[in-house]
Amino acid sequence: MQIQNYINGKFINPLSNNWIDNYCPATGEVYGQVPNSSKEDVEKAYQSAKSAFKYWSQTSFEERSEILLRIAELLEANLERFAEAESKDNGKPVSMAKTIDIPRAASNFRFFGHAITQFASESHESVGQNAINYTLRQPIGVVGCISPWNLPLYLFTWKIAPAIAAGNCVVAKPSEVTPMTAYLLSEILNEAGLPKGVLNIVHGLGATTGQAIVEHPEIKAISFTGGTQTGAHIAEVAAPMFKKLSLELGGKNPNIIFADCDYDNMLQTTVRSSFTNQGQICLCGSRIFVESSIFNRFKNDFVEKVKQLNVGHPSEIHTDIGALVSKPHLEKVLKHIDIAKSEGGKILYGGNKVIVEGYENGYYLEPTVIEVSNNDCRINQEEVFGPVVTIMPFKTEKEVLEMANSVKYGLSSTLWTNNLKRTMRMSNQLQTGIIWVNTWMLRDLRTPFGGMKASGVGREGGFEALRFFTEPKNVCIKY
Ligand code: NAD
């Protein structure tokens, strides 16, 4: 199957006729081709967005809202087709794509379709100076959205929906590793009546297509989700051009378990927070710290539960863990496991490739649990982004807080305790943008979403995203 770019409401081949292979992770086979779009393709997409902006920036909130809601409905009506495509492209269990990825992509459009009707700008009365200030919140113009492979449509739409809701026109690039659902989305956009040119989707490699978007002098803002190294590179290119930047990057999230927690709920949730989506969620808790009084109990119970997870073909109903996204990624994760072993990590479970009958070339890996004795080892410091967690005991609150914060990342943390004062103390001091207490991945789309330190700059979600995608302009009138 050949994927095409979607520019000015039409499906077109890349101008250079340059293509990349698209692999199915469950079988290891090539099943299609993706454009590797050039600077010229990006320019074409930009020109289309620029001319659509004249009209789109002047549409009423109601009109934008109606279109976004229609996109959400059409995604829901096509749930099965999208979920199967996402699973085939990414390797994730189709059950997950059906219950998480695609419903959330629809929610993103619905949420911002509603949010834009509630978005308001401020006014400030300058008492004593006979003046009133009001702030305009105008769309920026043409903006760039670049997303990763782990939650393909979910994260792609998390950027696009607020960008177009706020009146911008977009040049967007999904990951070249998982382009399929972004391509299918293009079909829905026409059906929903999104005017041509408002959203243009160009496919291709980061170094060619992504770079051309970031370098484009007239694309005024870049919303990026992906690796920390890529984020640093994008910042280097974009900052001297004074572009607005939103960077959602990597993580090495602590999962802190105190003895006074609700044990069963914690255990069940910790299995999820470790291995959902093959551990390939930026929010997965990959460093598990357990209070020493329950460490042995936790270790045994956790390993028992992990043993029960089924690794298998993504479309099998009993599969808990599907295939990793690509061969290079599988090899990278295996390398991390080897490093952990060489640094004294003890493999409590997993660590090996899995051969799934009938799909011997697929990229399957056992869920892996490693016991470590200090937080400075590389497996506790570097992002693995796979089905690999470490566990380690701690004695005091102070000690665990220090270890939790002793990484370059600061995306999310999970805290398991029923002690209110401890919850408040720890939440005040944890250096992460998101803190879950006695839960994980509970998402309210109104909340600020993003990381500190090397996990990013800026926040997505709710009005934060609408503020990012608008330019505030203050008007001061003296009377
Ligand atoms: P990546 O950085 O390799 O790629 C992300 C996107 O950037 C892709 O579309 C890629 O083509 C593009 N890209 C690469 N080089 C580029 C360049 N020079 N200019 C412009 N674009 C470029 O990341 P990935 O491997 O696709 O995704 C995994 C990473 O994403 C992990 O580090 C993970 O933690 C992170 N992530 C973060 C969040 C978050 O919300 N903080 C969410 C999901 C994933």
At 230 the pLDDT is 98
Instruction: Tell whether ligand 1 has an atom less than 6 A from the beta carbon of residue 41.
Output: no
Asked whether 249 lines ligand 1 (CB < 6 A), one says yes
d(CA 436, CA 443): 10
Which residue minimizes the CA distance to atom 14 of ligand 1?
206
Q: Is 14 in the pocket of ligand 1 (CB under 6 A)?
A: no
Ligand 1 centroid, distance to 172 Cα (angstroms): 13
CATH number given to 5-249+455-478:
3.40.605.10
Among 215, 139, 200, CA closest to 170: 200
| pLDDT value of position 303 | 98
456 lines ligand 1 (CB under 6 A): yes
ipTM above 0.90, yes or no: yes
Ligand 1 site, residue 288, Cβ cutoff 6 A = no
Q: What is the pTM of this model?
A: 0.98
Ligand 1 atom closest to residue 207's alpha carbon, by position in its atom list = 18
Burial of 318 (0-12, 13-18, 19+ CB in 10 A): exposed
State residue 60's pLDDT score. 98
The list of the chain residues with pLDDT below 70 reads none
Q: For residue 395, what pLDDT is reported?
A: 98
Residue 207: both structure tokens together: 């170094």
273 lines ligand 1 (CB under 6 A): no
Q: Whose Cα sits closest to atom 19 in ligand 1?
A: 211
Q: Yes or no: say if 234 and 145 are a contact pair by the CB < 8 Å rule.
A: no
- Residue 234 Cβ inside 6 Å of ligand 1? The answer reads yes
Atom number, ligand 1, closest to the C-alpha of residue 233: 18
Report the pLDDT value the prediction gives residue 374, as an integer from 0 to 100. Answer: 95
From CA 56, how far away is CA 143, in angstroms rounded? 13
pLDDT at 322: 98
Cα of 229 vs centre of ligand 1, distance in Å, is: 9
Whole-number pLDDT of residue 1: 87
The residue length of the chain stands at 479
Strand partners, 248: 225, 456
Query: Which residue's CA is the closest to the ligand 1 atom numbered 12?
Result: 206
Which residues neighbour 220 within 8 Å (Cβ) at sequence distance 6 or greater? 140, 141, 142, 143, 243, 244
Q: For position 233, what pLDDT does the model report?
A: 98
Ligand 1 and 233: CB distance under 6 A: yes
User: CA-based Rg of the chain, rounded to a whole angstrom?
Assistant: 23
Query: Distance from the CA of 452 to the center of ligand 1, in angstroms?
Result: 17
148 lines ligand 1 (CB under 6 A): yes
332 CB under 6 A from ligand 1? no
Each domain of the chain, given as residue ranges in start order, spans: 5-249+455-478, 254-444
Q: Which CATH architecture fits 254-444?
A: 3-Layer(aba) Sandwich (3.40)
| Ligand 1 center from residue 205 Cα (angstroms) | 11
Known catalytic residues?
248
**Ligand 1 centre from 9 Cα, in Å?**
26
Report whether 39 contacts 63 (CB < 8 A): no
Atom 21 of ligand 1, nearest CA residue: 210
Distance 65 CA to ligand 1 centre (A): 29
Q: Tell me: the pLDDT tens digits for 150-185?
A: 999 999 999 999 999 999 999 999 999 999 999 999
Pocket residue to mutate for ligand 1, from 36, 39, 143, 146, most atoms within 8 A of Cβ: 146
Query: In this structure, which residue's CA is closest to atom 35 in ligand 1?
Result: 226
* Cα(96) to centroid(ligand 1), Å: 21
